[in-house]
Amino acid sequence: MSVKNPDMRPELLQVKDLVIQYETSDGIVKAVNGVNFSLREGETLGLVGETGAGKTTTALGIMRLVPDPPGRIVSGQVFFEGKDLLKENKVQMRAHRGKDISMIFQDPMTSLNPVLTVGDQIAEVVRIHEKLSRADAIKRAAEMLQIVGIPAERMNEYPHQFSGGMKQRVVIAIALACSPKLIIADEPTTALDVTIQAQVLDLIHNIQQKYQTGMLMITHDLGVVAEICSKVAIMYAGYIVEYGSIEDIFEDPRHPYTKGLFGALPNLKKKVHRLSPIDGMMPDPANLPQGCPFEPRCPHRTESCTQKVPEGIEVTPGHMVRCICCAQGGGK
Amino acid sequence: MEELIQVKNLKKYFDTPRGKLHAVDDLSFTISHGQTLGVVGESGCGKSTLGRVIIRLLDPTDGTVLFEGKDITRSKDIKSLRRNLQMIFQDPYSSLNPRMSVSEIISEPLIVHHLCRGSAEIEARTRQLMDTVGLASRFINAYPHEMDGGRRQRIGIARALALNPKFIVCDEPVSALDVSIQAQILNLMQDLQESMGFTYMFITHNLSVVKHISTDIMVMYLGMMVEKCPADELFERTLHPYSKALLAAIPEPTLKKDRQAKLLRGEIVSPIEPKPGCRFAARCEFAGPACFERTPDLEEVLPGHYVACHRVNEINQL
């Protein structure tokens, strides 16, 4: 898939036909069904979708952290700087995590170790990956804290002594400590208040610009996407249903689900009497419809939508939509 | 307009090892029949406590709440109050008893208040309530764990409606839901209000939701009201510096790159034994000496628009 303005920056991450399933007693849960996307250095891709769309599973798949069992990466390739991560062994993979690729988790309250000081938690990742002495690692930890806006004196405090926003800054400091090339941020601001969210987003954005880190931003908030992403992938029931630049998605959304998401948001600028929700619920990923996964909820569904899962179609260069209507020139 | 709820100098303090926590500090306001008062603020500003004190899930430290002109703050007969004052809770996962079926949850208030005679009548009313909130009747014997968040929240709403209350406190009813489901629930709540004339107090941290559903909006900061006005007015003419910062901080789903407005520095502190002075002063870019000395009073700066800020006139050139 090409990008609208051909970019000379090297391809950092390329996910190809990734399929991840969970085997449960109720049958096979098809969490991720052939996901494709790519990311260049310094780019931010927003992975948007509702609960259960497969966003987090995709991220865990890239990191090879899908709990196995019950989860299984069935097929696909994840190229990171040209190397297929799915072919790496455990030791090689461990060397990537925290060093080349790091992750910011949703809930800062539970992703820090409560019995270690924050300084030790930042130093830990540096010592493992960069073979620094303890003293040097502690020094790096102090620098990292300052970068994320926490006074270095606080490095001997424990997580419970920090507020939610501050804890998330510590998590970001850990993620950045080894200057990774790719950051996967899984709903990094969902647990925070709006004013704190704005501070944290600002911090993430500045750091990412400064170090030219690639970022995969997982969120359900289209507002957050508009703030910091350059590309967007809309996920529904394990499929990427629409993918393109931020302008493509926000100014020219084509897929009925994407349009539905925008329609369902209460707007601060416009006054509408009633919201237009998307009827129904997301299908059970253990029991997906045979055709288009969105067909049961789609206002434009036709007989042919139930036949098979639509292929992705490039409507304009770099703007992919997985919908039959759009293929036939409709959906505008 | 007739006033359904009148709150006068309401205070709720909690004892903590470090002193008194002023969760709700001297609030006065009214809510008229059939209106929705939106209460916004960040976590820890006392908005949930306020809702709970009004419907007597918590007892106030001081002040009064009048419901239809009657003081309910010291009423001993809480059970009969519950017929008119109900609540919809934030988390549809933890606010439903996992060992009760849908019909048991919805019919419990009917049984407790002896509103129906005989099991046939109870079942008929339960089915009617399920129909009102859009729950398919095949779920009548299902348990909460079998249902998703949106349906669970509908159970919570049906339970609150069972007694035909006049006033419902909605504590973040949609914040645990996905956007497409959130819109369904918001529409349902609006429809119910139009058809049955409920009065809502809608507590949320989401400003776009509160704008959509409210007639009036009250902004709270550390237990105090900093601004209150009609919903549209708050967005067209924001006067208090905190409300402005709150509005500026919302990420909007549009591609306009003119934001990069001032970010609010610092974080909310806990209101334990607060010193006199404006509680927002430490984070406020306009704070002057007076702001640290005297607590600003809530004043009617423009018709129907109340603000508690010493420098509101200078800042907004009023």
Cβ contact, residue pair B183, A195, below 8 Å: no
Question: Is the pLDDT reported for residue B44 higher than 90?
Answer: no
Coil, strand or helix at B89: coil
Q: Does domain B3-84+165-316 sit in CATH 2.60.40.1180?
A: no
**Any domain includes A64:** yes
Cα dist. B287→B241, B283, B311 in Å? 10, 8, 8
Break chain B into its structural domains and give their ranges: 3-84+165-316, 98-154
Q: What is the pLDDT of residue A257?
A: 93
Please name the residue of chain A whose CA is at the shortest distance from the CA of residue B251.
Answer: A223
Please name the residue of chain B whose CA is at the shortest distance from the CA of residue A225.
Answer: B253
Q: How far is residue A219 CA from its own chain's centroid?
A: 6
Q: What is the mean pLDDT of residues B96-122?
A: 92
| Long-range contacts formed by A315-319: CB under 8 A, 24+ apart | A315/A254, A316/A4, A316/A244, A316/A248, A316/A252, A317/A2, A317/A4, A318/A1, A318/A2, A318/A3, A318/A4, A318/A244, A318/A245, A318/A248, A319/A4, A319/A242, A319/A243, A319/A244, A319/A245, A319/A248, A319/A252, A319/A254
The model carries a pTM of: 0.84
User: B149-161 and B179-196 are packed helices; what angle lies between their axes, rounded to 10 degrees?
Assistant: 20
Indicate whether A130 and A223 sit together in one domain.
Answer: no
**Domain end point (choices A144, A179, A214):** A179
Q: Select from A265, A273, A297 the residue whose CB has the most chain B CBs within 10 Å, as the one to mutate to test that interface.
A: A265
What is the CATH number for A275? 3.40.50.300
Q: Which residues of B touch A195 (CB under 8 A)?
A: 42, 245-246, 249, 263-264
Indicate whether A298 and A175 sit together in one domain.
Answer: no
Rounded Cα–Cα distance for residues A188 and A55 (Å): 13
Under the banding of pLDDT at 50, 70 and 90, the label for residue A327 is: low
Please name the residue of chain A whose CA is at the shortest distance from the CA of residue B41.
Answer: A193
**Is the Cβ of A272 closer than 8 Å to some Cβ of chain B?**
yes
Indicate whether A188 and A167 sit together in one domain.
Answer: no
Q: Which residues of A touch B183 (CB under 8 A)?
A: 263-266, 275-278
Pick the more confident residue, B195 or B263. Answer: B195
Cβ contact, residue pair B253, A250, below 8 Å: yes
Q: What is the pLDDT of residue B92?
A: 83
Domain count across chain A:
2
pLDDT in tens, B216-240: 999 999 999 999 999 999 999 999 9
Average pLDDT of chain B is 89
User: At A85, which amino acid appears?
Assistant: L
Q: What is the pLDDT of residue A4?
A: 45
Pick the more confident residue, A87 or B44. Answer: A87
Question: Is the pLDDT reported for residue A5 higher than 80?
Answer: no
Q: What is the pLDDT of residue A3?
A: 44
Rounded Cα–Cα distance for residues B189 and B205 (Å): 18
Rounded Cα–Cα distance for residues B182 and B204 (Å): 13
Q: Which residues of A touch B270 (CB under 8 A)?
A: none
> Are the C-beta atoms of A161 and B213 separated by less than 8 Å?
no
Structural domain of A26? 11-100+180-327
In angstroms, how far is the first alpha carbon of chain B from the final one? 29
Q: What is the pLDDT of residue B259?
A: 54
Q: Select from A281, A284, A297, A298 the residue whose CB has the most chain B CBs within 10 Å, as the one to mutate to test that interface.
A: A281
Q: What is the mean pLDDT of residues B13-42?
A: 92
Q: What is the mean pLDDT of residues A273-299?
A: 86
**Is the Cβ of A53 closer than 8 Å to some Cβ of chain B?**
no
**Is the Cβ of A204 closer than 8 Å to some Cβ of chain B?**
no
Q: What is the pLDDT of residue A1?
A: 43
Q: What is the pLDDT of residue A332?
A: 43
pLDDT in tens, A16-54: 999 999 988 878 889 999 999 999 988 999 999 888 888
Q: What is the pLDDT of residue B85?
A: 94
**Domain end point (choices A139, A159, A179):** A179
For B208, the closest of A225, A267, A281 (CB atoms) is A267
Q: What is the pLDDT of residue B260?
A: 55
Percent of all residues in chain A with a pLDDT value above 90, rounded to a whole number:
44
**Any domain includes A321:** yes
Rounded Cα–Cα distance for residues A182 and A208 (Å): 10
Q: What is the pLDDT of residue A107?
A: 81
Q: Which of A111-125, B137-151, B222-236 has the lowest mean pLDDT?
A: B137-151
Under the banding of pLDDT at 50, 70 and 90, the label for residue A280 is: confident
Kindly indicate whether the ipTM for this predicted assembly is greater than 0.90, answering yes or no: no
Q: What tokens appear for B198 in the block? A: 């409920």
Under the banding of pLDDT at 50, 70 and 90, the label for residue A69 is: confident
Cβ contact, residue pair A193, B245, below 8 Å: no
Q: Which of A176-185, A272-281, A314-323 has the lowest mean pLDDT?
A: A272-281
pLDDT in tens, B46-88: 899 999 999 999 999 999 999 999 999 988 888 888 999 999 9
**Any domain includes A1:** no
Question: Is the pLDDT reported for residue B262 higher than 80?
Answer: no
Least Cα distance to A316 among A238, A223, A226, A251 occurs for A251
Pick the more confident residue, A191 or A128. Answer: A128
Q: 3-state secondary structure string, A6-69?
A: CCCCCEEEEEEEEEEEEEECCEEEEEEEEEEEEEECCCEEEEECCCCCCHHHHHHHHHCCCCCC
Percent of all residues in chain B with a pLDDT value above 70, rounded to a whole number:
97
Cβ contact, residue pair B179, A165, below 8 Å: no
Average pLDDT of chain A is 87
Question: Is the pLDDT reported for residue B149 higher than 70?
Answer: yes
Under the banding of pLDDT at 50, 70 and 90, the label for residue B100 is: very high
**Is the Cβ of A281 closer than 8 Å to some Cβ of chain B?**
yes
Least Cα distance to A252 among A331, A146, A173, A147 occurs for A331
Q: What tokens appear for B151 in the block? A: 């349906």
Residues 6+ apart with CB under 8 A from A164: A108, A109, A191, A192, A193, A196
**Is the Cβ of A166 closer than 8 Å to some Cβ of chain B?**
yes
Cβ contact, residue pair B263, A195, below 8 Å: yes
Question: Is the pLDDT reported for residue B16 higher than 80?
Answer: yes
Q: Which residues of B touch A220 (CB under 8 A)?
A: 178-179
Indicate whether A28 and A50 sit together in one domain.
Answer: yes
**Domain end point (choices A179, A195, A222):** A179
> Are the C-beta atoms of B7 and B167 separated by less than 8 Å?
no
Residue B292 falls in which region: left (phi positive, over 0), alpha (psi -120 to 50) or beta: alpha
Question: Is the pLDDT reported for residue A331 higher than 70?
Answer: no
